[in-house]
Amino acid sequence: MPPTVILIRHTQVLMLRIQDYALHDPLITEEGVEQCGKLRESLKERLNGIPESDIAIVVSPMRRTIQTALYSLDFLIEKKVPITADAAWQETTSKPCDIGSPIPELTKEYPMIDFSPVDPVYPDKLTPAGAKYFPFKSALLARGRACVRSLYRRPEKYVIVVSHSGFLRTSVSGWWFFNGDYRIFDFADGNGADVEDDWADGPVPRLVQWEATLSGGLGWSWTDPVPLGEGLLEEGEQLPPKA
């Protein structure tokens, strides 16, 4: 049976507070750390009684998502719940703030995280080698579909993913996420029969959100759904200039 999925947006990050998207792979702010505390308490209550062996944590290999996971999910990490990084969950754009840091550097900074699954091309998202991470609609939607399929195949009963607002909204779930908020989903059918449109790259299991998190698990997020792909650049559209 596929897992229950908890999708989390990282907490407040410096580039959003000061509106400087030229910052490379920025950290969360003091307010972001405070938001992690509220997120931690909410998740600790929701996951109370669930064996740690039934849980896994997946994190985008960017500093803001890593920090959010370490501050808000420490109660699980301390009990040896595995935490792995996956480049598929990185943010959508090619702005400096959304370009990650080299994995050898991150491995030294965050030894408690397993970076071995990270695609060796990371953080490239602009050359042919990094084509699957291109900041264009077709690549982003394909990446989102791959993420959903990957979640569906997980053996754990609960998978917690710490990712980014843009990617979660436009490419995975079709819902808004406020800083540090989360949403919980089950798959529509345990045997995989209930799927979205059968894309050229294969069928996509359908995520169904819990009613309890329609405004976010912390009640901070908008309740209006968003069509997948809305606002994403089409292939060939001009990218924003580099800062």
Q: Is the pTM of this model over 0.75?
A: yes
Supply the pLDDT for residue 241. 55
Q: Which of 57-66, 116-125, 148-157, 182-191 has the lowest mean pLDDT?
A: 182-191
- Please state, in angstroms and as integers, the Cα–Cα distance from residue 226 to each residue in 50, 122, 173, 187, following that order: 32, 28, 8, 19
Kindly report the backbone phi and psi dihedral angles of residue 200, in degrees, each rounded to the nearest multiple of 5, phi listed first: -60, -30
Helix (H) / strand (E) containing 36: helix 30-46
Q: Which residue has the higher pLDDT, 171 or 20?
A: 171
Query: In the annotation, is 164 catalytic?
Result: yes
| Surface-to-core class of residue 157, CB atoms within 10 Å of its CB (0-12 exposed, 13-18 middle, 19+ buried) | middle
**Mean pLDDT in residue range 91-118:** 97
Which tens digit of pLDDT belongs to each residue from 24-55? 999 999 999 999 999 999 999 999 999 999 99
Which tens digit of pLDDT belongs to each residue from 10-20? 999 986 666 78
Supply the pLDDT for residue 193. 46
Query: In the annotation, is 24 catalytic?
Result: no
Decide: 107 and 116 in contact? Cβ < 8 Å.
Answer: no
175: pLDDT strictly greater than 90: yes
Q: Which of 9-23, 122-136, 195-209, 221-235 has the lowest mean pLDDT?
A: 195-209
Report which DSSP code applies to 114.
Answer: B
Q: Please, what is the average pLDDT of the chain?
A: 93
The catalytic position among 40, 95, 164, 183 is: 164
Q: Give all domains of the chain, ordered by start, each with its CATH number.
A: 4-213 (3.40.50.1240)
For residue 3, say if its preceding peptide bond is cis, omega within 30 degrees of 0.
Answer: no
The catalytic position among 9, 10, 95, 169 is: 10
200: pLDDT strictly greater than 70: no
